A and B are shown apart, each in its own frame.
Chain A
Amino acid sequence: MRDHDALENNPHISKTALEDIHGELFGWSLSRCGFDNAVAEDLMQQAYVELLSGRAKFDNQSALKTFVFGVVHNLARSRFRQQSTHLRLIDSFAADQADSSEDNHEHENLKAVWEAVESLPQRQRDITELVFIRDMTIEEASKVMGVSLGTGRVHYDRAKKALAHKLEQLHREEFS
C-alpha cells in the first residue's frame, strides 16, 4: 500500500519513514566522513537527492534503514575514494571535553576504546559500527557494505576477536 507521503520516484519510501531514521543516518554519515559535521550533512542531503530523484530505487527487499545506510555508504565511498586521510573522531572529541580529572579519566577510557575500534581494518570497523552501534544484524550490515553474508560474518568474527583482545588488554592496564 502506498503511504500518503510516499516519494514520487520511490513509492516504497515515505518521508515519515526517512524522518524516523534521520538521526541514525546522520550518525552513520558522520562516521563515513571522519566525523565532519558539514560533510556528513552534505552526504545525507545527497542521499536524499538520490532517493527523491529515484536514482537509488528501493524495492522493498530489505529494511529501509539497511538500504539508506547503503546509499550513504556508497556515496561516501565514491566521494572519499581518492582521499587518503580521514579526520579523527578523537581529535574533535578531545577538544570539546571538560577539564575535570574524572571526566578526563572517563575520556581517556573512551578514547582508548575508540582507538581500538579505529585501529581495525576498514571493513571490520564498518561492521563493528553497524552491528554494535547501529543495532543491525550481520546480514543487514553486509548488505549496507555491499558484501556477501559469508564475507560479512568473517569480518565480524575477526573484528570481535580483535576488539575482545584489545579491550581485555585495556582493562588489564587500567587495573594494574
Chain B
Amino acid sequence: MDDRQIREEIKKAAEATQTVARIPSFEETWVVAEAEVARTTKPRRHFGGWLAAAAVVGLAVAMWPGQQTELSDDYMIADALLNSTSWSAPSDALLPEHQFDIYQEIPFLLESTNGQDGSLL
C-alpha cells in the first residue's frame, strides 16, 4: 500500500465525517473575536496609561530640587575634611557651630614688662 492510497482512504473517511459539522460563519466568529479583544485590551490600555502617568509624577516628585533631603552636618564636616587643605579635629563635631572660634571668649590679658621682686607683673 503506497502513500497515495493511504492518503486517499484517510482523506475520504475524514471528509465523510466532517459533513457532520457546520462551519460557523467567518464574519460572526470574527465580530465576536473583535468584541472580545476590545473588551480585554481597552481597560489594560487605560491602566497602562495611569501607571505611566503615576510613574512620571513619582519621578518628578523624587527629583524635585526642593524635595531633596538635606545633608546632615556630620556629612558636611566629613566632606569638608576630604576637600579641604586644612585640618580640623574630629572633635570639632562637638562644637556648637561648624568652625566655631574657640578663642573668641578668652579674656584679654594685659602684658607687663614691669618687674617687681624679680618677677613680671
Which residues does A use to contact B, with CB under 8 Å?
Answer: 15, 18-19, 22-23, 26-27, 30, 35, 37, 40-41, 44-46, 48-49, 52-53, 89-90, 92-93, 96, 106, 109-110, 113-114, 117, 128-129, 131-133, 160, 163-164, 167-168
Q: Which of B5, B7, B29 contacts A48 (CB 8 A)?
A: B29
By a CB distance below 8 angstroms, the chain A residues around B3 are 160
Number of B residues whose C-beta is below 8 Å from A? 29
Q: How far is the CB of A70 from chain B (nearest CB, A)?
A: 17
Secondary structure class of chain A's binding surface, majority of residues: helix
In the complex, per-residue mask of B4-40: 1 if CB is within 8 Å of any chain A CB, else 0: 0111011111101110111110100110111011001
A128 touches B32 (CB 8 A): no
Please tell me which one of the listed residues A26, A30, A40, A117 contacts residue B13 in the complex, with CB atoms under 8 A apart. Answer: A117
Given known contacts A22-B26, A45-B36, A114 and B13 CB-to-CB distance under 8 angstroms: yes
A27 to B18, CA, bound (A): 7
* Cβ-closest chain A residue relative to B3: A160
Closest residue of chain B to A53, judged by CB? B37
In the complex, the answer to whether B6 meets A163 with C-beta atoms within 8 Å is yes
**List of B residues within 8 angstroms of A35 by Cβ:** 17, 20-21
B41 within 8 A of A: yes
A residues in contact with B10, CB < 8 Å: 113, 117, 128, 132-133, 163
A166: shortest Cβ distance to chain B, in Å?
Answer: 10
Q: Are B26 and A19 in contact (CB under 8 A)?
A: yes
Inter-chain contacts of B7 with A (CB < 8 A): 131-132
B30 neighbours in A (Cβ, 8 Å): 15, 18, 48
Q: Smallest Cβ distance from B54 to chain A, in angstroms? A: 24
Contact B33–A45 (Cβ < 8 Å)? yes
